[in-house]
Every structure is written in structure tokens, then in C-alpha cells.
Amino acid sequence: MSSFFNEYGGQIIEKSVEHLYISYAALLLGVLVAVPLGIVLTRFPRVATVIIGLASALQTVPSLALLALMIPILGIGKVPAIAALFIYSLLPILRNTYIGLKQVDSDLRDVAKGMGMTNLQSIIRVELPLASKTIMAGIRLSAVYVIAWATLASYIGAGGLGDLIFSGLNNYQPPLIFAGTIPVTIFALLSDWLLGKIEDKLTPKPLREGV
């Protein structure tokens, strides 16, 4: 075991950093695009049906096929991998943002309006805090998906822990497969846990306590 880590320890760390970079870059882009878009779509329900349907359709494209489709457009490496994973991250965040905001009691919106709040102030101070639990659930789901799917980025030269997994498969070396698979699992679980903590911080206390 010690000889394995002496030989591959540096590579495991390097590939782990690459994997996290690809995953979180895609997830961050997903949040920056999907949350504002979900907010806007709550004001245009007919358009929302089309946009969410399109995001759902993109989600059905096999991950390897989507990565391959990125090559003629963006070449190989981290950029096309991030772009493909960004597309996969959109649906859970977009759908949960839309659903979370739509579920906010209309009476609360009316109260905010009666207090003199603008539409934007109502969204920031009232609707988003109340919908934060649902939105964060979508972000957590996307994080787990993206970290798992980032292993396939190895196929287009993006690096990451997929390099170890596929190297182990191609050369019949189970230790390499485990060296890639175990960190991916840990990163997915740890990310879900950390985002859960952020969810607790963002969720208003009465909602956390089930009031």
C-alpha cells in the first residue's frame, strides 16, 4: 500500500485538484445562469414551460455524446468538459429555483408590495429566502451529478480522476480504479454535506424548524 502511494500519491492529488476544478467551475456557471433564469421565468410561465422543457431535453443526451459534441466547437481539454458539465448542471437548479419561487405564498408577495417593496426587493428579501431550501436542494443534486460525471471528462483530455479510473481499466490495475473512484465518492458526499450546511444557513429559522 505504501509503495502504491509513493508511486501514485502525487498523481492522485494532481488529478483530484483537476477534478474539483472542472466540477466546481461547471457548477458555479450553472448557479450563475440557472438561478437568475429561474427567477425571471417565474414572471413568464408560458416561456418557462419551453425553457425548462429544453433543459430537460439536454439532460437526456448521453454524457459521452455531449462531451463528444463539444470537441468540434471547443476542442479538447478542460473548457469543453466544463461546458458540457455546465449544461448538465442546469436542469436541477433551474427547475428547483422556478418551483421554489412559485411555491411562495402570493399573500406574502402582496404584503411585500404593500410595504412599498419593489419587485426586485420582494424577490431578494422575501421570495429567495423562502425558496432557498428548494433552490439549494437543486444545487446539491447538481453538485453530486457533476462530480460523478466529471470522471468522463478524461475522454476528451480534460484530466481529473477519470484518468486514473480508465488507466486502471485499460491496464487491469484495480488499485488505480479504486484510487480514482474513492476520492470521487468522497468529494460527492462531502460537497453534498457542505452545501447542506449552507442550505441551513440560508433557510429562515421558522422553515428550518418546520414551523
pLDDT at 210: 52
Query: What CATH number is associated with residue 114?
Result: 1.10.3720.10
Residue 163: Cβ-neighbour burial (10 angstroms; 0-12, 13-18, 19+): buried
Q: How many CB atoms lie within 10 A of CB 61?
A: 14
List Cβ neighbours of 61 (8 Å cut-off, separation of 6 or more). Answer: 69
- CB-hemisphere CA count at 13 Å for 19? 33
- Sequential DSSP letters for 23-75: HHHHHHHHHHHHHHHHHHHTT-HHHHHHHHHHHHHHHTS-HHHHHHHHHHHH-
The CA angle 65-177-155, to the nearest 5 degrees, is 25
pLDDT at 136: 94
Number of folded domains that form the chain = 1
pLDDT digit of tens for each residue in the chain (211 aa)? Answer: 667 667 777 888 899 999 999 999 999 999 999 999 999 998 888 898 899 888 888 888 887 888 888 888 888 888 999 999 999 899 899 999 999 988 887 777 777 777 777 777 778 788 888 888 999 999 999 999 999 999 988 888 888 889 889 888 888 888 888 888 999 999 999 999 999 999 888 877 655 555 4
Length of the chain: 211
Domain extent, residue 129, equals: 2-208
pTM of the model: 0.88
Question: Which residue type is seen at 148?
Answer: A
Measure the CA–CA gap between 140 and 33, rounded to whole angstroms.
16
Q: Report the candidate in 84, 81, 54, 207 with the shortest Cα–Cα distance to residue 137.
A: 207
pLDDT at 211: 46
